Amino acid sequence: MVFFFVYFFQMVVTIIQTIGIPGMGTCGFIIALEQFDSSVGGIFVGLFLLLIAIGFGTCAAGDVMMLTKIHSIYRSSGASFAKAQAEFTTEFMRNPHVQQAATNAASAAVNAQMNNRY
């Protein structure tokens, strides 16, 4: 389930990059069309940015196709949200790095409470 959440936001970012909203730092269709002017340099830069925007568009289309395909495979496997949640919690808590981080956070919280008490 975490995969779908992360992949969905990756898809949204790719779509935003494809659009190319001015001031956001991406090279999309809007920025590419703004670069075209009567000079040779402007046309060259515009064409180059248009190729980048087409690449982002291709990636966005691929993201949509892959997300729908993976979602259909996920649904046909008999998986459910409850199973995914249970698997995530068991696998997540089994990770030694997570266990160490939880231990450190708990001990820091106890130490902070003890220091503030006096």
pLDDT tens for the chain, residues 1 to 118: 678 888 999 999 999 999 999 998 888 999 999 998 888 999 999 999 999 999 999 999 999 999 999 888 888 887 777 777 787 777 777 778 878 888 888 888 888 887 876 5
- Rounded Cα gap, residues 63 and 54, in angstroms: 14
- Rounded Cα gap, residues 81 and 71, in angstroms: 12
Tell me the pTM: 0.64
* Exposed / middle / buried, residue 15 (Cβ in 10 Å: 0-12, 13-18, 19+): middle
Give the dihedral sign, CA 39/44/50/53: negative
CA 10 to mean position of chain CA atoms? 3
CA 29 to mean position of chain CA atoms? 21
